[in-house]
Structures are given as C-alpha cells and as structure tokens.
Amino acid sequence: MQGRTRLGLVSVATGEVKWVETGLQRAEVAPRVQTRTEQNTTEAAQRERGVENQTQQAQQTGQQTQQLGGQSQQQTGQQQTGGQTQQGQQAPPRAQGQQTEAGAPALRDRDVQLFQLQWSEDGARAVLLARAADNKDRWIMSLDPLTAKTRVLARVHDDAWVGGPGSFTLGWLPDNRRAYFVAERDGWAHLYTINTDGGEPVQLTRGQFEVSDVRLSADKTRFYFTSSEGSLFERHLYSMPLDGGARTRLTTMPGSNQADVSPDENMLAVVRSYSNRPPELYLQPNRPATSTTSASTTSASAQATNAQTPDVKQVTTSPTPEFFTYEWIDPPIVSFRARDGATVYGRLYKPANFKRGGPAVLFVHGAGYLQDVTKWWSSYYREYMFQHLLMERGITVLSIDYRGSAGYGRDWRTGIYRHMGGKDLDDHVDAVRYLVGEHGVDPRRVGIYGGSYGGFMTLMAMFTTPDIFAAGAALRPVTDWAHYNHPYTSNILNDPQDDPVAYRQSSPLYFAGGLKGALLICHGMVDTNVNFQDTVRLVERLIELRKENWQVAPYPVEDHTFERADSWADEYRRILKLFDDNLRPGSPTPAGADAATPKRRGSRKQ
C-alpha cells in the first residue's frame, strides 16, 4: 500500500484550513518499457528494453510453460497479445490504460504525494516536491499561501524510476525567488536552480560525477556539497558560488570525506575513512585543498595513516591495538568489459601466493543501490575481513559494482529495470570470464556469496547459470519479489498486477530446478526486512524438486542483520566450509560445468 497524506495550510489568526491542490492526480502514465539514454544498439540492449524477436519469445514462452505449468499460461497469453512493433518484433505486456512507446501516452489517475515543503526566508513563498506513486515522475512546485494552489516549476521524469543521490534535495537561495534541487536530468545527479517566477531550470554542475548533501554557507554566498568529481571511488567536500562556476575542493585526504562546517566556517570536522582504515574524526582548516590527488595516484603509505597534511589533525583512533597488527590490504580497483561493452569495476583480493588454476569467489554486495567498489571503508566490513581469510586459503575474491549499483549515474542505476537477475547477473558471469582470462582462475572452482540482494543474486546465479558457479551461499535472500517491500520493488519491477512477467523473471523461486552446485541458505527467523517465509517457500520447492545438494541454517533469534557474535561466527564458519569442500582441488564439479558457453535456464540465452 502506498501512503496517502494531505497537505494543509492553517491560519494561526483564524484557524482556517486550506488544503493544497496540485491538479496532478490525472497524469500521463509512463510506458513500462525503458528508454535508455546510453548509445547501445546491441541485441542485448534491445532485450533489456523489453524487445525480443518472435523466435526468442517463443522459446522463452515454451521454457516458462514447462517450468511453471498452468500458472504461466495466463502470462504467456499476455506476452503473445502484446502490441506489435516494427520489423515483426513484439513489445512486452503493458499495463491497462497504457500505450507503448510508439503510441500516445494514456491518461490515468495516479496518487500524488506532497512533501519537503520549504518556505522562503521572507515567508512570502513556498516550494515543495510532489511524487507520483509509481515514482516515474516528480515535480518541483511553487505554493501560493493565499490560495493553497500549486504551480509546476520543473518536472523530473524517468521511464524506469526517479532516484539517485540527492533526489529529495530542495532549498531556497537568499534572493527568495530561486530554489535549488538535485536531479539526474542529464543522466548524472547534478545541482540545478529554478526561478519561482518562471523559466527553465539552470544547471550549475555538469560532468560524469554525482553531487549530494547540498547546503548553503552561513553567509549564503556559496554552496557546499559532497561530490565524486575527480574519482568515482572517493567523496570530497566542495564549495561553489551560487550562480555556478568554479568548484573548489576543500578536503584533502584520499577516500571518503564526510564534512561538517563549523559555525564560524573557519574549520571542517571530517569523518574520513580509507579502504583499509575505518572512519575517524579529523579537524582541518576550511580552505582550498593544496593538493587534489586521488587515491589512484597516491602511494599506498600516504593513503593510509599518514594521509593527512600537517594542518589536518586526527582526533579519534577507534580500532583496538590488535587491529593494527594485521596487514589489511588496500584492494586494487580493477575493471573489465561486460558483454555489452560497458565497463564494470571491481575490488580484487588476490592471494600473495596465488597460482594459476586456483579457485575464486565472487562477493555480491546487498541493497542493490549501493557502492562497494570504493577507496573508503566498506559498509561490509565483516566481509572485507572474511575476504582476507579466503585469501589466506589461496582463494581469489572479487567484488563488483554490478548494474543497479550506486555511484555511476542514472543508466547504471536503472540497468536492472524490469529484470533483477538480468544484466546484474550477466555482469557477474562476465566477471568470472575476466578472472579466468586475466588471472588464470580455474573456471570449474568458482563460488559466490552475498546477503539480502546479494543472497537473491546468489540464488539467481546458482539456478540460472548453474554451469558457472560450483557453490553459493545465499544469506537472508529474497526468493519472490512479489512478497517483498512494495515501495522498493515497485520502483524496479512496477506493480505486480501490471507487470507479472517482470516479477516472474526476477524471482529465484521459479528457477530452483536449475540448481546443480552446492547451495547454503542462511536466514534469521525474525527477519523484518526479508521475511523468513521466503526461505521456507524455497526450501519446500527444493524438496518438491528432490534436490539434494543444499542445506539451510535458520537463526531463531536473529533479524535481517545479526546481533549476536556467535551467530555471525556460525554463519561464516558454514560459508568457509562450503567453499573449502567445493572449491578445493578434488572437490566435486557440477555436471556439465563449462565457463566458456554458459546457458541460463528459464531465461534468455547468453
């Protein structure tokens, strides 16, 4: 259910209430098929947009019918009756009341939510954000306090879903006429201003980087914001005049720098971390950085404990002394070309004594929209330490920012639209090819693991590309997206009643028959994020399929993120044993394992 709220203006003098009117409830409905902004005309890109030729569609329909039985017949009928496009191709099913991209947009009532009301400093004007319930449109609006009526100043539209860092940013400039906001209007999250008297938005920042955490200086003469300019793998504080122009970097240390400005604006309090150093508090003068060197061009020693310049003071040292007795590595950032030509970045953990023909494991970060390939301390710090344990056992580990991850602009963020476990899984299969081709990893001894979205991805990998992965550990995984948090899922897969195909092709439960390798499932029984029922349903399905090479570990008192150290220890002991048993020389290899010609079960050909 979408939350419904009303916004009202109350007169403190008379008590009169005026309900804000938008006039946006009846709006053009965005098409379900994604229009990408990247120049990609390959067959794979056409498939991502939802266009498949009739032969492919017939093959997929046959596979779905065999696997899902009577339940899939209704969906198959929907596919076959979809609108015809040019050159004999068919569009995917569309929602009721919608037109395809080639047709005129349909009109349909949509709930519109109002939020982020901001008054000008003189109190004479107000601006606010409006959001369509399907999250394909947001509007920056002005509000007339006398009439409680609104006027659209700018529209932010995305055929997939509106998002990105800073997408809820809204504030006033000191002239009480212009407001500022952040949007992905050019494909990257950038800062804009809009005049409430009318006119087009003015873009103040541009380039292949992202802007977030925008605020004004105390004297309201310039902006402060956090940006990935200079390196997508770092974050720094910048300042910029209100009308745009030159941007000045203020923080100096490589990594992530989350900074607050002192009330007198003479100092910065910076929470800074690096790849192998947890966050610490630093103080530094608020002045332009004398050096803007990124971590990629800085020596390893300078990047760690001695990264600060003489005028930067470290205030805290959080880890215990034992932490510093271990040589935690600064994982190199590597890249490879995916099958569609896109560049995928990863963090590589390679054993010092690695020999060609050794095993490898892919770690899949969770959340979907999150960045793990960075030069700062990972939010997956337990996994970061676990990768070191795997390295000590001769296992190479690679963590990638697959399609749907944060930090790489709109096209990357929406690359999973209508198919989770599609291009994001392709990126992981291509990562295996990279490890085999560039590092000599044995293609028969590759494992995969992750939690939450990473657990879901592990299941999709084990079920739909079973010849690629010999073993997988799926931690607290989603198995059926129709049962998950609707506000999150509907952004990516639309509403289940409107787009059942997207939910079917994205849910591991319906592909469990493809399992060949060894599978471990771990899940807290009081998980309030991914409900334990997801694992229960999958377990029942595996029993029905008479699969034998799987095991499940329930944790009776644990939520989505474990609280008890003994639960964490038990989980990682099981993961380690899974990989020891299945990736070591002489371990059993899934029948038909062949990394050179992988085939995906129940989905499109590779």
* Structure confidence by residue, pLDDT tens digits, 546-581: 999 999 999 999 999 999 999 999 999 999 999 999
User: 519-534 in b/e burial notation, b at 16+ Cβ within 10 A?
Assistant: bbbbbbeebeebbbeb
Count of CB atoms situated within 10 Å of the CB of 426: 25
- At residue 290 the predicted structure's pLDDT band, cuts being 50, 70 and 90, is confident
What amino acid occupies position 592?
G
Q: What are 189-204's pLDDT values in tens digits?
A: 999 999 999 999 999 9
- At residue 584 the predicted structure's pLDDT band, cuts being 50, 70 and 90, is confident
- At residue 5 the predicted structure's pLDDT band, cuts being 50, 70 and 90, is confident
Q: What are 88-114's pLDDT values in tens digits?
A: 333 333 333 333 333 445 556 678 889
Q: Which of the two residues, 591 and 534, has the higher pLDDT score?
A: 534
Count H helices and E strands in the chain, helices first: 12, 28
Q: What are 314-373's pLDDT values in tens digits?
A: 999 999 999 999 999 999 999 999 999 999 999 999 999 898 999 999 999 998 899 999
| Alpha carbons 571 and 563: distance in angstroms, whole number | 12
Q: What does the CA dihedral 188, 190, 196, 200 come to, rounded to 10 degrees?
A: -50
Three-class DSSP category at 261: strand
Q: What are 212-245's pLDDT values in tens digits?
A: 999 999 999 999 999 999 999 999 999 999 999 9
CATH 3.40.50.1820 holds for 337-583: yes
- At residue 208 the predicted structure's pLDDT band, cuts being 50, 70 and 90, is very high
| Alpha carbons 300 and 291: distance in angstroms, whole number | 16
**What does the pLDDT average to over 66-86?**
36
Nearest Cα residue to 36 out of 373, 340, 410: 410
Q: In angstroms, what CA-CA distances link 94 with 2, 30, 262, 411?
A: 21, 11, 53, 22
Cβ within 8 Å of residue 327, ≥6 positions away: none
**Longest Cα–Cα distance in the chain:** 83
**Report for 38-42, 441-445, 585-589: range of highest mean pLDDT:** 441-445
Average model confidence (pLDDT) across the chain: 85
User: 299-323 in b/e burial notation, b at 16+ Cβ within 10 A?
Assistant: eeeebbeebbeeebeeeeeeeeeee
* Residue 43 pLDDT greater than 90, yes or no: no
Please state the domain extents for the chain. 8-25+107-321, 337-583
Cβ within 8 Å of residue 265, ≥6 positions away: 217, 218, 219, 286
Q: What are 395-430's pLDDT values in tens digits?
A: 999 999 999 999 999 999 999 999 999 999 999 999
Q: What share of the chain is helix, strand, coil (3-state, %, to 5)?
A: 25, 25, 50
| Cβ–Cβ under 8 Å, residues 118 and 145 | no
Find residue 92's DSSP bridge partners. none
- What CATH number matches the domain at 8-25+107-321, 2.140.10.30, 3.40.50.1950, 3.40.50.2300, 3.20.20.20? 2.140.10.30
Strands (DSSP E) found in 477-592: 518-524, 550-555
Nearest Cα residue to 535 out of 549, 519, 548: 519
- At residue 531 the predicted structure's pLDDT band, cuts being 50, 70 and 90, is very high
Q: What pLDDT does 24 receive? A: 75
